[in-house]
């Protein structure tokens, strides 16, 4: 059994956040709860354990600094942390002028192709990756969270600060474009 993020839990967590807003030493339980998920989030985008540790530290430091600005609006605290993490990762790669990493299991690509109502074939993989590589960051993020990290649209929307329906519409438009390009090349 893992703790759920039910509304009741979020309300309870909001009390913890309020306590940490008054006294940052009270941030400890939030740090302990979310360190691993945030670390994994970053690691998938860096594939480098040491770099992930560094960025993760900055993420939590910024979270502590900005905690007074956080207000509870029915969105899990984790989404707020992932948002900071996402920005920090993007900033790091921008500064260093390097390409960021996109981590995925091979079967994730199969799921992606099947979502386009197409049959999977191993030789599709290079073609698909080359088209994914040409996506804008804001589009790739949606595909990454939905298909490579299997996040529900609700959570994606919370992290990206968009509506759930907007997340769905945008994702399926990207899929349509990808499908057309793949069919053109096949």
Partner 1 sequence: MKKNYNFNINPKPLSSEEIRQHQDFDALFAKFQEQEQKPEVAAPTPRRNNVRWLTVAGLAAAASLALVLMLRVGNTLPYEERNAAFFADRPFVEEPLLQVPKPILASYPIDAEEGGILEYESGSRLIIPAAAFHDTKGQPVQGEVAIHYREMHDFVDFFLSGIPMVYDSAGVSYNLESAGMIEIYAEQNGQRVRMAPGKSIDVELVSSLSTPHLNVPPNFNIYHLDTVGRKWVYQNIDRIQVLQDEAATLPGNHPALSAQQALMNSLDGIQAQEKALMEQLTLENPAPLEPLRPRRHNGTDFVFDLDLQGLDAAQNTYQGTFWQLSPNSSVTEQQLNQAWDNFHLTQINNRDYQLSLLNEQQTLTVIVNPVLSGADYDRALAEYEQEYAAYRQAMATWEAQIEALRTERSSDLQTQREGAYQKFQEAMKTLADNGASIDASTPLFNRKIVNRFQADRLGIWNCDRPLAPHMIQMKAKLVDERGQAIKNQTVFLVDRGRNTIQEFVAGEDMEIRFDLHATNMMWLVTEDQKIAIYRSEDFKQLKADEQNYTFVMEKVNRPLQNEQDVRDVLQF
Q: Which residues bind partner 1 (CB under 8 A)?
A: 1-4, 6-9, 12-13, 16, 24-25, 27-29, 31-33, 35-36, 39-40, 43-44, 47, 49-58, 60-62, 64-65, 74, 91-92, 95-96, 99-106, 129-130, 132-135, 140
Provide, rounded to whole angstroms, the least separation between the CB of residue 169 and partner 1. 20
Give min distance, CB of 102 to partner 1, in A: 5
| Nearer Cβ to partner 1 (104/116) | 104
Q: Please, is 45 exposed, middle or buried when counting C-beta atoms within 10 Å of its C-beta (0-12, 13-18, 19+)? A: buried
Q: Is 71 helix (H, G, I), strand (E, B) or coil?
A: coil
Smallest distance from partner 1 to CB 166, Å: 18
How near is the Cβ of 182 to partner 1 at its closest, in Å? 16
Neighbours of 177 (CB within 10 A): 13
Given a contact cutoff of 8 angstroms between Cβ atoms, the answer to whether 59 and 83 are in contact is no
Distance between start and end Cα atoms, the chain: 46
Of 79, 132, 186, which Cα lies nearest the Cα of 87? 79
Q: Which is nearer to partner 1, 35 or 172 (CB)?
A: 35
């Amino acid at each position: 059994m893992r703790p759920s993020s039910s509304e009741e839990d979020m309300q309870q967590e909001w009390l913890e956040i309020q306590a940490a807003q008054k006294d940052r030493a009270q941030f400890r339980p939030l740090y302990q709860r979310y360190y691993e998920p945030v670390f994994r989030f970053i690691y998938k985008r860096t594939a480098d354990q040491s770099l992930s540790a560094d960025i993760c530290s900055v993420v939590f430091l910024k979270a502590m600094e900005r905690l007074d600005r956080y207000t509870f609006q029915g969105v899990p605290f984790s989404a707020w942390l992932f948002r900071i993490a996402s920005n920090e990762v993007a900033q790091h790669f921008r500064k260093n002028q390097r390409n960021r990493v996109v981590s995925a299991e091979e079967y994730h690509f199969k799921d992606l192709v099947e979502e386009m109502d197409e049959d999977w074939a191993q030789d599709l993989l290079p073609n698909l990756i080359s088209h994914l590589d040409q996506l804008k960051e804001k589009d790739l993020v949606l595909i990454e969270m939905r298909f490579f990290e299997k996040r529900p649209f609700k959570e994606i929307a919370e992290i990206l600060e968009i509506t759930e329906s907007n997340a769905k519409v945008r994702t399926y438009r990207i899929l349509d474009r990808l499908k057309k390009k793949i069919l053109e090349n096949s």
